[in-house]
Chains A and B, each alone.
Chain A
Amino acid sequence: MSGPSVLFDVPGPKARRTSLISSIVAGLLILAGLGWIALTLAAPRQSGGITLPGFFDPTRWNIFADPQVWSFIVFQGVVGTLSAALTASVFALILGVVLSLLRSSETAWIRVPIAVVLEFVRGMPVLLMMLFILLVLNTGAFWAVVAALSLYNGALIGEALRAGLASLPRGQREAGLSLGMRPLQSKMLVEFPQAFRQMLPIIVAQLVVLLKDTSLGFIVGYTELLRVDMNNLGSFYGNRYLFSLFVITLALYLTMNLSLSWFARWLSKRTASKSSGKRLDPTDPGQAMLEAAAAARQSAAP
């Protein structure tokens, strides 16, 4: 359904005017709501007989004038988050490739147990995996976060790659085999590069999820951005800066995630124009996975 123009007649001058007026009214209402929130936050507040300054008062933000605070946030927090995310995404990619090959193996003895394990991993919360690795394997917080994220996202990336492999036309494999390649050779040299390229937007979108999930390290005690800002700086400078610290944390997370999401979208547009395949929506990996799996099943059916 592209655009509502199919559903009803082209609006005349009267309908256009109504829609313009309601657009302005709704816009004003939204702005008024946001303004009300801002005013409430900015107003000085009473607490136990003491008047505290509003949340936009300079005394609540002055710590950010200190370059040391910023270097702490960047070198402890952002670097902590990014190093966990980078390490985990490398392992997740490797694991994804291996799992997709094992999962689409010809031998049932390999295929079936891997399928069960994948199902098990996908049905469990990442947080529980982190706790499990932390308590049982006693690895320390960093490796618990990295291992759980790699395992979970590796399972999802593996499933995406398998769907990509399955949705390729069968002729690709047959052509590879008819040239005298062994099955594994044809898989690695002919099929895999195509599947990887087709699934690249989903994989990058899954990496956005991975980056977001590093913040779960806050709960299992890994020092990443959230813990650095809310716990370390929050208790060092006291409660009065809690709100300001939260706003800064949110802004940093949004910057990282939005830029990666936009990269995924750009990538999907680029690959779509080159390959004739259906474009998968990269913003929601779960959604795109369903479509990919459905496409795979469709092409598997004769």
Chain B
Amino acid sequence: MDAVIENLPTYWRGFSMTLLLLGVSGISALVIGTIIAAMRISPVASLRAFATVYTELVRNTPLTLVLLFCAIILPYLGSRLEYQVAAMIGLSVYTSPFVAEALRSGINGVPVGQAEAARSVGLGFGQTVGMIVLPQAFRMTIPPLINVFIALTKNTSVAGGFFVFELFAAGRELANANGDAVIAILLGVATLYLVITVPLGVIAGQLERKWVVQR
């Protein structure tokens, strides 16, 4: 326990880097994922095909491989990125297909009857999408999106294996430095991860419960 309290600054340094990774890659994954989801439902066939292949390939590549590419192969190919930025890029790319799928499943979850009803009372395309479909799709995508972010939080730990000093790397360093208090130190790291993931999980479960009953 003393080892944990003594090393609180190191914990904090790691934790803030984890939060930074989570924030930046979360937002950029949201942006890329939205673009991919839009391509996936667009009437242009070649964009649709590209988005499908992208989703399938990225989703079946292990995250370790993606981050290894960003941290080791990219500098070898001549990039001058810092390791943190490389890790952020890797995490965003890896997370984006999951975001796209969550968005797509939300839109697919709106019953066709809703759109048919809107069309049959004379609403146009913009009105149907903007007033009927998207408001319903939005709340169906929030719980899956939160789940994606929980997974992203846990995935940031992989960046710790590729030269980024975040929570996992901090834990590993502290465990090596304090061989007599490994259990306490690693439990401290676990607690900090749970501080992020458990509240998010509770929110997702509650929203899911609330909104599923209303349908």
Q: Which residues of A contact B (CB under 8 A)?
A: 1-2, 4, 6-8, 11, 19, 22-24, 26-27, 30, 41, 45, 119-120, 122-128, 131-132, 135-136, 208, 212-216, 218-219, 226, 230, 239, 242-243, 246, 249-250, 253-254, 257-258, 261, 281, 283-284, 286-287, 290, 293-294, 297-298, 301
Contacts and interface: CB of A to CB of B under 8 A. Distances in A.
B44 interface: yes
B64 interface: yes
B10 interface: no
Contact of B47 (A2, A11, A26): A26
B60 A261 contact: yes
A126 B154 contact: yes
B27 interface: no
B147 A287 contact: yes
B194 A123 contact: yes
B128 to A, nearest CB: 6
Contacts of B59: 261, 283
A4 B112 CA distance: 10
A294 B208 contact: yes
Nearest to B187: A132
A131 B65 contact: no
Closest 3 interchain pairs by CB?
A27-B46, A219-B161, A125-B157
Given A123-B201, A290-B147, A230 B115 contact: no
Nearest to B47: A26
B53 to A, nearest CB: 10
A59 to B, nearest CB: 16
B116 interface: yes
Contact of A243 (B41, B47, B73, B102): B73
B56 A258 contact: yes
A6 B147 contact: no
A6 B119 contact: yes
Given A132-B186, A284-B98, A212 B171 contact: no
A230 B62 contact: no
Given A216-B62, A246-B69, 12 more contacts: A6-B116, A23-B46, A122-B197, A128-B157, A128-B189, A135-B186, A136-B182, A230-B68, A283-B101, A286-B98, A286-B144, A290-B147
Contacts of A287: 101-102, 105, 144, 147
Given A23-B44, A26-B47, A212-B60, A243 B76 contact: yes
B73 A120 contact: no
Chain B contact residues, majority secondary structure? helix
A219 B148 contact: no
A119 B198 CA distance: 8
Contacts of A26: 44, 46-47, 50
B127 to A, nearest CB: 10
Nearest to B195: A123
Contacts of A301: 213
Nearest to A34: B50
Contacts of A218: 64, 68, 161
B107 interface: yes
A23 B208 CA distance: 38
Contacts of A294: 208-209, 212
A30 to B, nearest CB: 5
Given A7-B125, A258-B56, A253 B112 contact: no
27 contacts: A2-B108, A2-B112, A6-B112, A7-B125, A45-B78, A122-B201, A123-B154, A124-B194, A127-B157, A128-B189, A131-B175, A132-B186, A136-B183, A214-B62, A218-B64, A226-B65, A226-B68, A242-B72, A242-B73, A254-B57, A261-B60, A284-B98, A287-B147, A293-B208, A294-B208, A294-B209, A298-B212
A284 B101 contact: yes
Most interface-central of B65, B78, B160 (chain A CB within 10 A) = B65
B119 A249 contact: no
B154 A124 contact: yes
